[in-house]
Each structure stands twice: as C-alpha cells, then as structure tokens.
Amino acid sequence: MRRVTGRIVGDDDVFEDARYGEGWDVTHIATENYAPPAGGLVWGDNLVSIQVAGTSPGQAPRFESNPPGFATVIGDVVTRSGGGRLDVERTLGTDEFVLRGGVPAGYRGTIRVPVANPTLFTVHAFALRLQEAGIDVSRAARVDIDDTDRKPRTADAEPLRAYVSPTLDEIIDRVNRESDNLYAEQVFRTLGGGTTAQAEDRVQAFVTSTGVDGSDLYIADGSGLSRKDMVSPAALASVLRAMRSHPASRSFLQSLPEGGASGSTLRNRLGGISVKAKTGSLLAVRCLAGYVEGAGGTPYVFV
C-alpha cells in the first residue's frame, strides 16, 4: 500500500456516545488532564501534550503540540525574567486551546489537556503513523463513523493486526494505584456492554450480592468524578469485607496503594503505616477507604 485516497474511518460504536459521566463538572472536562472523555476508540489517554519553552524576557514563548497537527494552540503568554503563571482555556467541543499568563526565560514544561473527540484523535494519530510508514494520506478524509451516512462494511473483512491488552488485574492496578479516571471509565463501560446504564446495573447487582441494600446507591460513572454518585460508607465497607474472600481478592488487594508507596496516590501520605487504601477527592470532598492492620495483625476495614 502506497496511498489512501478514500476515508480513514474511526469506528467507536462498541460504546454508546456518552463521553462524559453524568454530573461531571464542566470546568474539569474543559482542561483538566484527569478528566478526559471516554469512548469506544481511544488513544494516548485522550490527551494532547502542549510543550512550552520560555525565550527572551518580553518575547512570546515557543509552543509545540503533540501529536502535531491536531490541536490549535493560541498563545497570549509572555516570557518574564522572574516567575510566572500559565493558564489554559478551551471552548467545549473544540480542540482550540488558549494559553494565558507568563513563564520564566528558562521554563521548559509540558501541559496535557483533554481532546474533544477521542475517535477523531485516534484517527489522526493513526494517519500520522501511516505517513511515517511512507503511505500518502494527504487526500484521505478522516472521519468519525457517526458523521458518515455510508458506513464501511466490515462483516467479512480480515483484520490486518490484532492487539491483546494487558490482563484485567494489570489494568485495575493502574486504576487504583494511579487513580486513573479514563481507565476506570473504560472498564465501567465495558462491564455494561458499552453503556453506563447497564454498567450501573451490574455494580448494583454485585453490591447487593454482598448483602447490602442497594436502593440508596446511585452510580453515575466509573471514576467517581460525578457529583451524582452516592455511596454510603456502610455499603462501601460491606464491599471491602466481601472482597477479602472473593476469588479475585489477591489481585484486588495488590491493586490498592500502600502507605507512602512511590508512584501511587499515597506516595506522600501514611508512610510507615500498614495500610492499603484508595483515595477519592473533589472540591469539598475527601475520601479514603481500604484496610489497615491492627494489633496482633488483625485486619480492619475502614471508610
């Protein structure tokens, strides 16, 4: 293959088109790297990297986005001889980012910001890889399958490449140790066959199986970013107790950060204490739940 003259189509129909959880804060999804959109086709954590380098005092810094050619970066920033502050703005639904403020002359930094459409982002990255392999895609349209009336017929198509993911315990390890919201959302939607409604039903069914009345439980997303999530401490404690005897107990316990563990959400907290726990924070919300070893090695659940 030397040239693509038709379309490069991103097929994300394995999931419903609900990129954000119900009740997510609009200020989070605009620019925060911990709140990228979910989707049936994702790449690179659904984040664009904007590299910023200070120049001479009074001059504009240099900007470069990666992957190149996807996002539009507008700089309203000046290089200063002293300190500075850099803010990012984005209009929802676009991949146009405006940087405002100032940076020191020797500043070298990278800002990671969420994209608007994960499917188009994946298609763009794929097209770049084709170009690097010597395949001309300059005349190929790059589209989301939802934006085309003539969908490709793939029932009898042979895949060119199949990729096997890491195992689920490895994925959950990243979810819990790094508090990776995108991974949590992707797992949640996969549990529900692509829909958040069915995913909530499965979570409800599991909680009920631990002996908890799930009638006062409301699960709006997989990550906990939603202000509409409602889980009582008693319900969560019951789930933690049940997980100690669950067939996946070992993998689950290993996924929880230890007190003071580097590379985890507890890296600067609870060092020297025999605790394994998961954090959860929003504005005016601070949560911690897990296991701690008491006197004589007795394990305790706490929420």
Residue 14 has pLDDT above 90, yes or no: yes
Question: For the residues 249-272, what does the mean pLDDT come to?
Answer: 87
Span 204-219, pLDDT tens digits: 998 888 888 777 789 9
Other C-beta atoms lying within 10 Å of the C-beta of residue 99: 21
Q: How confident is the model at residue 128 (pLDDT cuts 50, 70, 90)?
A: very high
**How confident is the model at residue 290, as a pLDDT?**
95
Q: How confident is the model at residue 116 (pLDDT cuts 50, 70, 90)?
A: very high
Span 15-56, pLDDT tens digits: 998 899 899 998 889 999 999 999 999 999 999 999 999 999
Residue 268 has pLDDT above 90, yes or no: no
Which residue in 40, 106, 44, 52 sits closest to 77, CA to CA? Answer: 52
Continuous H helices in 232-278: 233-243, 249-255
Strand (E) or helix (H) holding 185: helix 181-191
Across 109-123, 133-147, 208-222, 223-237, least confident range: 208-222
Residue 150 has pLDDT above 90, yes or no: no
In whole angstroms, give the CA distance from residue 226 to residue 30. Answer: 15
What are all long-range contacts of 125-133, with beta carbons under 8 Å and residues at least 24 apart? 125/43, 125/44, 125/67, 125/70, 126/8, 126/10, 126/43, 127/8, 128/67, 128/68, 128/69, 130/4, 130/8
Q: What are the b/e assignments for 212-238, b being 16+ CB within 10 Å?
A: bebeebebbbbbbbbeebebeeebbbb
Span 161-190, pLDDT tens digits: 888 999 999 999 999 999 999 999 999 999
Q: How confident is the model at residue 255 (pLDDT cuts 50, 70, 90)?
A: very high
**How confident is the model at residue 149, as a pLDDT?**
86
Highest averaged pLDDT of the listed ranges 56-60, 91-95, 182-186, 257-261: 182-186
Question: For the residues 123-144, what does the mean pLDDT come to?
Answer: 95
- Cα dihedral value 32, 96, 3, 159, nearest 10: 30
pLDDT > 70 in the chain, percent: 100
For the whole model, what pTM was predicted? 0.91
| Token pair belonging to 99 | 């940087």
Question: For the residues 52-62, what does the mean pLDDT come to?
Answer: 92
Tell how strand 96-104 and strand 72-80 pair up: parallel
Strand (E) or helix (H) holding 196: helix 196-209
